[in-house]
């Protein structure tokens, strides 16, 4: 049997790593013995905290499936090709486990697709273990819990589905942690931004979306101090402009999210600032504006941009 790579999206976050790690494990239990979890980028500090806490080594980083001798892949936490491995169009996609919109996706052969509008891909993988009647190892449960906590900001994000609460409770019990205590420690681990160079800061958690012919990069960082991040605006804007030129992004939207007060500041540069302003019904001043109550890129930013750019 040929090698099968299981991975989340580029610039992997905790849900991408947790869901792919667990689904690779489940795939092997289901008979896909060569399924291997890999990553499409280095893990961030939040994810590193979770991996260290549960004693799991970080997946090795790959850039090409073919270079790894794999012609079959399974995607978790994404489906859009521009967010995936470089040679995604040259391999067979066996399956997808995701909780995002479906876009820019097509295959030559049938596949399984498990798509649910829940808070995390990790939530879906948890239910797949349960549906199979399989026990979830402690470390695996810990990574799935971490993915769910990360994507829902400890169940406070509007992306949180009503079923996610019970999933989190079940996983916390299996992982042997207190949900609130561990969750806060995990989120805090991901807010150390001061020492990161601007080019790293804007790429910690960033995805590219094709919106009506425009390549729009939407990045997000979590913090407990928005003014501290904005104090570096000049440096950040220089990094954004460099990234835009290098990757032909028409627009770059940088979301600075306060995880304590559940608000965000939006810093936006590009050709379509009017469409960004229209998306959120605000006025950019000095390239940024406050967006009250916004913490979710998936639910509170990308859909609004998609609608605005379509007009």
Instruction: Please tell me whether 13 is known to bind a ligand.
Output: yes
Taking the CA of residue 235 as centre, how many other CA atoms within 13 Å lie in the half-sphere pointing to its CB? 13
* Cβ proximity of 22 and 54 under 8 Å: no
Q: 7: helix, coil or strand? A: strand
C-alpha distances out from residue 88 to 3, 12, 93, Å: 15, 16, 8
Q: In what order do the strands lie in the sheet with 251-258?
A: 206-211, 214-223, 251-258, 263-270, 288-291
- Rounded Cα–Cα distance for residues 291 and 293 (Å): 6
* Cβ proximity of 126 and 163 under 8 Å: no
Instruction: Please tell me whether 78 is known to bind a ligand.
Output: no
Instruction: Please tell me whether 164 is known to bind a ligand.
Output: no
Pairing of strands 3-7, 251-258: unpaired
Nearest to 56 by CA among 43, 65, 68: 43
**Residue 256 β-bridge partners:** 221, 265
The DSSP 8-state label assigned to residue 135 in this structure reads P
Instruction: Please tell me whether 90 is known to bind a ligand.
Output: no
- Rounded Cα–Cα distance for residues 148 and 120 (Å): 5
Instruction: Please tell me whether 205 is known to bind a ligand.
Output: no
**Residue 259: both structure tokens together:** 């995880």
- Find the farthest-apart pair of alpha carbons in the chain and give their distance in angstroms, rounded: 57
Q: Tokens 């820019």 appear where?
A: 104
- Rounded Cα–Cα distance for residues 86 and 173 (Å): 38
Instruction: Please tell me whether 258 is known to bind a ligand.
Output: no
The DSSP 8-state label assigned to residue 58 in this structure reads P
What residue numbers does the annotated binding site cover?
9, 13, 15, 77, 99, 151
What residue numbers does the annotated binding site for Mn(2+) cover?
9, 13, 15, 77, 99, 151
């Amino acid at each position: 049997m040929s090698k099968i790579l299981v991975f989340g999206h580029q610039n992997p976050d905790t849900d991408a790593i947790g869901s792919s790690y667990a689904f690779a494990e489940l795939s092997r239990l289901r008979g896909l013995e060569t399924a291997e979890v890999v990553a499409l980028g280095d893990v961030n500090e939040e994810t590193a905290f979770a991996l260290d806490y549960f004693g799991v080594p970080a997946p090795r980083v790959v850039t090409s499936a073919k270079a790894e001798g794999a012609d079959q892949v399974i995607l978790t936490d994404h489906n859009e090709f521009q967010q995936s491995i470089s040679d995604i169009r040259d391999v067979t996609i066996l399956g997808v486990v995701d909780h995002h919109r479906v876009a820019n996706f097509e295959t030559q052969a049938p596949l399984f697709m498990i798509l649910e509008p829940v808070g995390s891909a990790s939530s879906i993988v948890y239910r797949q273990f349960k549906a199979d009647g399989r026990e979830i190892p402690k470390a695996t449960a810990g990574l799935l819990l971490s993915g769910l906590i990360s994507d829902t900001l400890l169940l406070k994000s509007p992306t949180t589905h009503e079923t996610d609460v019970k999933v989190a409770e079940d996983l916390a019990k299996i992982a042997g942690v207190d949900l609130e205590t561990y969750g806060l420690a995990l989120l805090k681990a991901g807010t150390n931004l001061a020492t990161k160079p601007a080019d790293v800061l804007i790429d910690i958690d960033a995805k590219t979306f094709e919106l009506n012919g425009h390549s729009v990069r939407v990045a997000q960082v979590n913090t407990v101090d928005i003014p501290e991040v904005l104090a570096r605006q000049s440096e950040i804007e220089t990094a954004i402009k460099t990234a835009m030129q290098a990757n032909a992004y028409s627009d770059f939207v940088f979301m600075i999210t306060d995880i304590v007060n559940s608000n965000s500041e939006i810093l936006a540069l590009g050709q379509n600032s009017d469409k960004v302003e229209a998306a959120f019904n605000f006025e950019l001043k000095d390239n940024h504006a406050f967006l009250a109550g916004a913490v979710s890129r998936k639910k509170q930013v990308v859909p609004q941009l998609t609608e605005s750019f379509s007009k």
